[in-house]
A and B are shown apart, each in its own frame.
Chain A
Amino acid sequence: MNDSIWRWDRAWEVLPHLLEGLQITVLATVVGMAIAAVLGFFIALAMRTPSRWLKAPLRLLVDFVRMTPIPVQLTFIWLAFPTIPTLAVGFSVLGVHYATYMSEVYRAGIEAVPKGQWEAATALNMAPGRTWRAVILPQAIRNTLPGLGNYAISMFKETPFLFVIGIVEMFTEAQSFGANTFSYIEPITMVGVLFLLISYPTSLLVRRMEIRLA
């Protein structure tokens, strides 16, 4: 019987499992953020159209997605669409959830482009499409990079929710190791450390980006 609280042999034993889980965690974040970045952009653009028939239902959908918890959404979609592979459900629920937040980031980024830029484009008689592509979006997207980074970190930390539909990411690996060995302290601590090792440097990078863009 070994009753010390922390056992290094357990910690080393669980590490390979955690690193395997980490791959899924990172993959979910990358794919999820890619979905969020693209879909969020189109939501932001759609919200700018004068058409109320497009805006009203979209607004409702966006609010609905934001106001319900991710585990509930995961479980609901997973149960409602049993034919969709579990990983695809997990990644796209994360992606759609964050797309609703990213659309706000894009909206703010577009609105932060000074009015004078639109006016100069009009004075140069640029076509609306060209104004967007050549003038507004390059500046707006620059403004959105820190927001994108912050939400990527936030999503990264919420990947453990994938647990509820049985996706084995890092946290689930730790849980099952604990269940098998009755040692929870080591795997859970290691999970925390691994999250921190990735999210903290990323947040520093985002902060530097914010300072540079300010």
Chain B
Amino acid sequence: MTTSTGETPAIEFRDVTKRFGDNVVLDGLNFSVPQGQRITLIGPSGSGKTTILRLLMTLEELSGGLILIDGDPYTHEYKGEKWVKVPEKRRRVVRNRVGMVFQQFNLFPNMSVLENIIESPVHVLGKSKDEAVADAERLLDKVGMSEKRDFNTNELSGGQQQRVAIARALAMDPEILLLDEVTSALDPEIVADVLGVLKEIADTTDITMLLVTHEMQFAREVSDRVLMFDKGQIVEETDPETMFTNPSHPRTQEFLKAVLG
């Protein structure tokens, strides 16, 4: 399957279903994200947007369907008629292309800021320590955290931790970056700082981004496309300008009215 540009999409969901017990969160979802595109997922809580990111990071298992990354089977594949899990060894190869930043930062508290960032470049990508440290220092500079290099993570404020978490994700040089409500746990006055960092990354890289956020102004600035979710379905999908000024679906109108006031 190809997109309008004729390239293989960075991400493709084919008939993706996700159930938690009897609760169907996603039901036969289809969508694809072209290389380098920035997509914001909006919608009421429980609409399945975070589940999409978690499926993409293999933090949850699919109940049915396929997720392809650059056209490669990632979590499951069909062997003949049979729907089977992709073995962990092959998953790991594909997973290297995907990075994630979490709402709760999830830095490793037993490691310093620098150690957090170089851990996987050294142990997963096999970089030399010197190279990983040099890269980490460059990234810490980019997120404005250079002077905290050797701090413990518990000495940092929430906003600082999140900036380190962003640097840590970028250190793996991902093709796809998943941002799961990354400013929701932050004090209001810090939110702008973190969004500024993300804006700069969006402007200076060609990383494909999927973001779940309640920051509608930010979504408007960085995204190429906005998907409105409701009950596990995409109810509307358009450019941010149209979505935020002239949404056509009644559910979108209701939702935006509720969040934007």
Complex alpha-carbon distance, A154 and B92, angstroms: 46
A56 at the B interface (CB under 8 A): no
A125 at the B interface (CB under 8 A): yes
B99 at the A interface (CB under 8 A): yes
B33 at the A interface (CB under 8 A): no
Given known pairs A126-B124, A127-B124, the reply for A119 and B57 (CB within 8 Å) is yes
CB distance from B176 to the nearest CB of A (A): 11
A176 at the B interface (CB under 8 A): no
Complex alpha-carbon distance, A125 and B119, angstroms: 10
Which of A117, A123, A127, A135 has its CB near the most chain B CB atoms (within 10 A)?
A: A123
CB-defined contacts of B146 to chain A, threshold 8 Å: none
Residue of A whose beta carbon sits closest to that of B92: A125
Residue of A whose beta carbon sits closest to that of B125: A125
Interface of B is mostly: loop
Contact between chains at B102 and A119 (CB < 8 Å): yes
CB distance from A34 to the nearest CB of B (A): 24
Complex alpha-carbon distance, A126 and B119, angstroms: 9
B58 at the A interface (CB under 8 A): yes
Given known pairs A119-B57, A134-B119, the reply for A125 and B124 (CB within 8 Å) is yes
Contact between chains at B124 and A116 (CB < 8 Å): no
B166 at the A interface (CB under 8 A): no
CB-defined contacts of B108 to chain A, threshold 8 Å: 117, 120, 134-135
CB distance from A141 to the nearest CB of B (A): 10
Complex alpha-carbon distance, A122 and B178, angstroms: 13
Number of A-B contacts (CB under 8 A): 57
B172 at the A interface (CB under 8 A): yes
Complex alpha-carbon distance, A139 and B154, angstroms: 13
Contact between chains at B106 and A117 (CB < 8 Å): yes
Complex alpha-carbon distance, A16 and B99, angstroms: 66
A212 at the B interface (CB under 8 A): no
Contact between chains at A120 and B59 (CB < 8 Å): no
Contact between chains at B123 and A126 (CB < 8 Å): yes
**Size of chain A's interface in residues, with CB distance under 8 A?**
17
* Per-residue contact bits, chain B 221-255, to A (CB 8 Å; 1 contact, 0 not): 00000000000000000000000000000000000
B205 at the A interface (CB under 8 A): no
Residue of A whose beta carbon sits closest to that of B104: A116
**Size of chain B's interface in residues, with CB distance under 8 A?**
24
A5 at the B interface (CB under 8 A): no
CB distance from B60 to the nearest CB of A (A): 10
* Per-residue contact bits, chain B 20-34, to A (CB 8 Å; 1 contact, 0 not): 000000000000000
Given known pairs A117-B106, A135-B108, the reply for A122 and B59 (CB within 8 Å) is yes
Complex alpha-carbon distance, A139 and B107, angstroms: 12
* Per-residue contact bits, chain B 151-177, to A (CB 8 Å; 1 contact, 0 not): 000000000000000001100100000
Within 8 A of A (CB), among B65-116: 92, 95-96, 98-100, 102, 104, 106-111
CB-defined contacts of A120 to chain B, threshold 8 Å: 102, 106-108
Contact between chains at A138 and B57 (CB < 8 Å): no
A124 at the B interface (CB under 8 A): yes
* Per-residue contact bits, chain B 120-163, to A (CB 8 Å; 1 contact, 0 not): 10011000000000000000000000000000000000000000
Measured CB to CB, the residues of B under 8 A from A are 57-59, 92, 95-96, 98-100, 102, 104, 106-111, 119-120, 123-124, 168-169, 172
Measured CB to CB, the residues of A under 8 A from B are 114, 116-117, 119-120, 122-127, 130, 134-135, 138-139, 142
15 contacts between A and B (CB under 8 A): A117-B108, A119-B102, A120-B106, A120-B108, A123-B106, A124-B124, A125-B96, A126-B119, A126-B123, A127-B123, A127-B124, A134-B123, A135-B110, A138-B110, A139-B110
